[in-house]
Amino acid sequence: MLDITVGCIPMEFGFKGERSYIQGPDLVNGVLSHFAGKEIQNVKFSIHGFINTPHCTLSIYAADPKNNTGEFRGYLTRDGKKWWLEITARDQKSGVENRSPYDENAIISQCNIEGKQVSLTGRSAYSFMETIVSMTKLLLTELIRPTGGKWIFTAIEIDEYFDLRENLSIKLLHNFQNKLVKSEVLSDDVRVGIIYFSLVKP
């Protein structure tokens, strides 16, 4: 069988606030940082489970592995070349815990909701991914109020990646019975991506 694995890279993440899992935006940012300095397009990542350890492995493939089982999976195009990848937890129990504060209210306080859209009125101190995830969660919390459960970021599609931090807005497009909610990510009213959330009940 042809080995399509290009590399397996150890990655270290940290917990934010009181969370006991690695935030989705940090997983996305970790991958994008690895490919930094290049033109990144056609990004599509999805999350299939919580990662409860800071110790992970990023596996990069030259072709679709099809049977990958990582908690984080997807692909991107860098300088015209498509790469498939996944992140898996290396150790779910042991290891040094790196924890940092995360003031989500700093983003929320700059948001304005009108109808099915939330807009950022200033410049975010946080990354593009952290910002749009917080904005989307705020929008869904205000528009859809199911009893019980928590809105969780589950997937992202980005046409061309830039670390945008202002003039951003999120527009709710479709709600598939709260199992999957699809929203449009806009920069200066131009679509730059699609973000997905799911309602996870305890």
Structural domains in the chain, sorted by start: 5-91 (3.10.129), 105-200 (3.10.129.10)
Please give the full DSSP string across 144-178, using - where no structure is assigned: ---SS-EEEEEEEEEEE-----SSEEEEEEEEETT
Euclidean distance between CA atoms 10 and 21, whole angstroms: 18
The tens digit of pLDDT for each residue in 75-86 reads 999 989 999 999
The tens digit of pLDDT for each residue in 119-148 reads 999 999 999 999 999 999 999 999 987 777
Residue 41 φ then ψ, to 5°:
-140, 175
Identify residue 164 by its one-letter amino acid code.
L
Q: Which of 91-95, 112-116, 197-201 has the highest mean pLDDT?
A: 112-116
